[in-house]
Structure 1
Amino acid sequence: MKKIIRFAKTMPSATLSLVFWGGITIFATIISKNIWILILSIPFLLGLTYVPYKVSNMNKNISEELIPIYQKNAPLLKISEITKDKLNERVKVIGTIEKIIYGISPKPTIRIKDDTGSIYVSLIVPLPEDVNVGDKVEIYGVVTKHYKFFGFMGIPKLWKPKIYGIGAKKLN
């Protein structure tokens, strides 16, 4: 049950979809007095649960496989050293978490800072359970583009670096 609650917290879009469509199904069944609506929607509702859960587990496995490689091979950089020239390069950054954003995205976005600046990190997995705002973390990932106005798309020249993170490790 603890895993399901954590999954629901870290995958809000999947949870909201399941609650919304489950409610619509129950409402339609009650209004129509036709139990077949409920019976025939069960595979759909199971898919709304199973697919995000499988994707989450897949991302977790990828993260666990790649973190040792990044720990060993990725250069440790200060945030100010992450420039547009580092696009698509593996990086390792140590910083303090300023903000954790889950929103409707199935993956969290965090903003970390060090003594040279701050940067956004979009993770493919949830943060470890004991990580909170103010904690010092080591982030592993690849430098990508963050557009000023639209996040993932926008005006070609108006972007700054961000990290597409494969994982994070809390430091003492």
Structure 2
Amino acid sequence: MNIRAGLSFKNILYHAKTTPSATASLIIWTIFSVWATIQSNNPWLFIVCIPFILGLTLIPLKVSKMNRSLSDDLLPQYIDSTKEYNISEITKEKVNEKVKLVGTLDKVIYGISTKPTIRLKDESGKIYANLIAPIPEDIKKGDTVELYGVVAKHYYLFGFIGIPKMWKPKIYGIGLIKHY
């Protein structure tokens, strides 16, 4: 498989924006490698670091592309077979159900992985969703979107683990598209 397929400066900038932790790791490791090479006066040190720098660049990029491909493959199945709900209808009884939500993209949080967390709101409430792929480039904060995914548990204190019975519903988002 060719890793360079579809790789452009625009794609790299988009990837850097959607994976801030990977970008920060790459920058820190590169600066550290250059500093260590200068301090040691040994150019071989930097040459040894090149595979790590390439790995910090290419592995998150490849994972992001794989997640986008997975989302693109699953999204048509969800569009055809998912019932639309209001956010207030997403209750604890809906855990593991496929859902479609239409609302305004209220907040976008990029963390450690290429999978952002978003907050979606409609006239009935707000809900958080963890997406499996970065947000499509044509979608911005404030846009009306359709979110397809599965209802999951979000524990109040620790996110994915916590005290039993202290959780609220959230969505594991398969895909996000603009609503027209």
With the shorter chain as reference, the TM-score category is: over 0.9
What is the number of equivalent residue pairs in this alignment?
A: 172
Q: Name the counterpart of 2:74.
A: 66
Partner AA of 2:178 in structure 1:
K
TM-score using structure 1 length: 0.95
2:59 paired residue number: 51
Q: Cα offset for 1:2?
A: 0.6
Q: Which residue pairs with 2:12 in the alignment?
A: 4
Deviation string, structure 1 residues 131-165 (Cα, Å, up to 9, x no partner): 22221100011111111122222212211000011
Q: Output one character per residue of 1:82-119: Cα deviation in whole Å (capped at 9) or x when no partner.
A: 11111122111111111111144422111111121110
Secondary structure of 2:139's aligned partner? coil
> Given the alignment, which residue of 125, 136, 151 partners 2:159?
151
Query: Is 2:31 aligned against 1:23?
Result: yes
By how many angstroms is 1:41 displaced? 1.1
Moved over 6 A (4+): none
CA distance in 2, matches of 1:145, 1:124: 16
The aligned counterpart of 2:41 is 33
Provide the residue aligned with 2:95 in structure 1: 87
**Residue 126 of structure 2 aligns with which residue?**
118
Check conservation: 2:103, 2:122, Cα contact below 8 A.
Answer: yes
Counterpart Cα distance in 1 of 2:60 and 2:108: 21
Q: Is the 8 A contact 2:19 2:111 kept in 1?
A: no
**Offset, 1:5:** 0.2
Please say if residues 99 and 149 of structure 2, whose CA atoms lie closer than 8 Å, have aligned partners that are also in contact. yes
Unaligned runs of 5+ in 2: 1-8
Corresponding residue for 2:174?
166
Letter of the 2:123 counterpart? D
Alignment pair present for 1:133 and 2:133:
no
**Alpha-carbon RMSD:** 1.2
**What are the within-5 Å matches in structure 2 for residues 97-108 of structure 1?**
97-108=105-116
Give TM-score scaled by structure 2 length. Answer: 0.91
